[in-house]
Structure 1
């Protein structure tokens, strides 16, 4: 009896095996076709992103040239009285093509920074070899007068140079500011909460943000972030503050900039500025739980930031919507902003967009 049953099972497996293979092939083919179709459908939307800002700034430039929009008076980028009355200077590293990110900041958390003399906002750009793009940036600055262009080529490898340029500009133009916040242009900022915290908890001799401890360099030759022993000869990095957003107390700005002339340059700007250079001058690296340590570690919903200061890597549209939600105390998060749903959506965007 057992023998016959075993034979029946074997016969069934042999009959089902071709069917299973066929089903797997059909499912794989359908998935591949769906992938290609969705990619083709999404592709035109990717191309329209560039067309949008080009047409917009061409139009603005034509209005300025024709006199429909008056050219604003040239205002000195320096702070009045060396920034003595500036409570917080916000410096945003940005690339030339990130028009949408800068506009989103101006419309949201950066808008209230126009209230003098407490807070000032500046975008820091490097040099681009595309003359057309450079013209667009100059047009943008004619309108907003909030852009600093440094002689640093726009490359990821040059982020350390750009951060050093931020310190240099601040020391030269606003040396008496109370605090300097360096924040990337894809970071959501609850600025009122940060200002409230600093007014209640003054900081000195400090770099404040998400503290990273006991971090070791990647030594594998297969790693994109590989650091050789010649580039860095210690087992661990010093404690440093994660790069998307960190706050520097004004009393150490000059010393921190001077240290960049003595500490050898390093490829990771946060390790370099807030780790190596900070350690060189004996300043403190302080942790603040409301500074984001992760990559989109909260859903893109303003209500998620009622008790947070920063969140990393949000799109311009998300930033604008989140800011509006943050202002409305009765606002609720949408279903698509729940953790698992927006993670799936993020994966979909990463694949197709």
Structure 2
């Protein structure tokens, strides 16, 4: 037999190397395909999340978010259990309907912060009739947290409610991460309790509020689809995990927020609360409350308006003479004690700056 007709066989060590190479190649291809599949799935999920949070409201109702029992938090620390059938444990069921105020001021505050409530009652909360228009105020509370001597604190809040008639307390846990819940139950309450009111305002307890300037502005403002305050546009989403307002891409994939009014104090026409509550069934509730209201408004296709005369300020300037307090609508202060002194300055300037 000639050499050319002899069937050549590879040595065993060469066959082993060949099969090892093929095995490694097949495993690598499998890993690559698996990675690409997961990447495409994640991208689709993020894109769908962005689409759902921004599409306009239609007659085809999207299923509401799963309801989470009171006190139980969702799997993500950046979302909150809303919508949910929270209920008011302390209420003023008929006051707003009976008094039919032009403007209702809603102040979110912790149950333990009695000082802030008392200071407001003795300063801008005394403004109950302005330019012939009735003005009401209410304090919005959640439930005390563990370690706050809950039973004694609840007794004090109940007595305070009976004395002043301005406490609204709901069944959620009062905490910073639940401010979105507090804001949404505020909208729910306004929808069901104030049918004859023209405007409402959400205003923080550390804010100086010039009610006269506010009412004067509102008398010239639109009565429908209107919200104004300190308007924020194109704010970057905080991706630094050390930030108080951190949101991961998995919860909010867009690089910037839609336009919204800062939560320190924004005013709105009374057709908006019900619309925002309805939109909340279609927009995932993040814990940053003013951003969430902006997301609901975007879903509805409603724009936040700049105030016609400015006046909505943030931090207190170094110089507040030259009738400063008579010209602004809001200014952020350090605490309730500063509000006492600020109100004295405001009353003095009111007399001097006629």
TM-score range with shorter-chain normalisation?
0.5 to 0.7
Note if contact 1:82-1:176 (Cα within 8 Å) is conserved in structure 2.
no
Is 1:87 aligned to residue 102 of structure 2?
yes
Is 1:201 aligned to residue 216 of structure 2?
no
**Superposition TM-score, scaled by structure 1 size:** 0.67
Note if contact 2:92-2:167 (Cα within 8 Å) is conserved in structure 1.
no
**Superposition TM-score, scaled by structure 2 size:** 0.67
Note if contact 2:129-2:135 (Cα within 8 Å) is conserved in structure 1.
yes
Cross-structure match for 2:338? 318
Cross-structure match for 1:131? 151
Q: Distance in 2 between matches of 1:248 and 1:123?
A: 17
Deviations 1:33-70 (A, max 9, x none): xxxxxxxxxxxxxxxxxxxxxxxxxxxxxxxxxxxxxx
Cross-structure match for 1:282? 301
Deviation (angstroms), 1:106: 0.5
The structure 1 residue matched to 2:177, chosen from 150, 157, 162, is 157
The structure 2 residue matched to 1:120, chosen from 129, 136, 146, is 136
Q: Distance in 1 between matches of 2:200 and 2:158?
A: 25
Q: 1:81 to 1:287 in 2, by over 3 A?
A: same
Cross-structure match for 1:167? 187
Identify the structure with the greater helix proportion. Answer: 1
Cross-structure match for 2:61? none
Is 1:106 aligned to residue 113 of structure 2?
no
User: Looking at both structures, which has the greater relative contact order when contacts are Cα pairs under 8 Å and sequence separation is at least 6?
Assistant: 2
Q: Distance in 1 between matches of 2:133 and 2:210?
A: 19
Deviation (angstroms), 1:101: 0.9
Q: Distance in 1 between matches of 2:290 and 2:221?
A: 24
Deviations 1:314-350 (A, max 9, x none): 4222212221221223789xxxxxxxxxxxxxxxxxx
The structure 1 residue matched to 2:202, chosen from 173, 182, 197, is 182
Q: 1:210 to 1:203 in 2, by over 3 A?
A: farther
Q: 1:86 to 1:173 in 2, by over 3 A?
A: same
Q: Distance in 2 between matches of 1:150 and 1:299?
A: 40
The structure 2 residue matched to 1:226, chosen from 240, 246, 267, is 246
The structure 1 residue matched to 2:312, chosen from 291, 297, 310, is 291
Q: Distance in 2 between matches of 1:220 and 1:80?
A: 43
Give the SS at the match of 2:315.
coil
Note if contact 1:244-1:312 (Cα within 8 Å) is conserved in structure 2.
yes
Note if contact 1:194-1:309 (Cα within 8 Å) is conserved in structure 2.
yes
Deviation (angstroms), 1:118: 1.6
Q: Does 222-231 or 276-285 show the bigger shift?
A: 222-231
Note if contact 1:208-1:248 (Cα within 8 Å) is conserved in structure 2.
yes
RMSD: 2.5
- For structure 1, the 5+ residue unaligned runs are 1-73, 333-353
Cross-structure match for 2:271? 251
Deviations 1:107-138 (A, max 9, x none): 11111227897211100011014221121111
Cross-structure match for 2:85? none
Cross-structure match for 2:236? 216
Q: 1:76 to 1:203 in 2, by over 3 A?
A: closer
Deviations 1:61-94 (A, max 9, x none): xxxxxxxxxxxxx9953345477x3210111000
**1:327-338 → structure 2 map (5 Å cutoff):** 327-329=347-349
Note if contact 2:326-2:350 (Cα within 8 Å) is conserved in structure 1.
no
Q: Distance in 2 between matches of 1:330 and 1:123?
A: 27
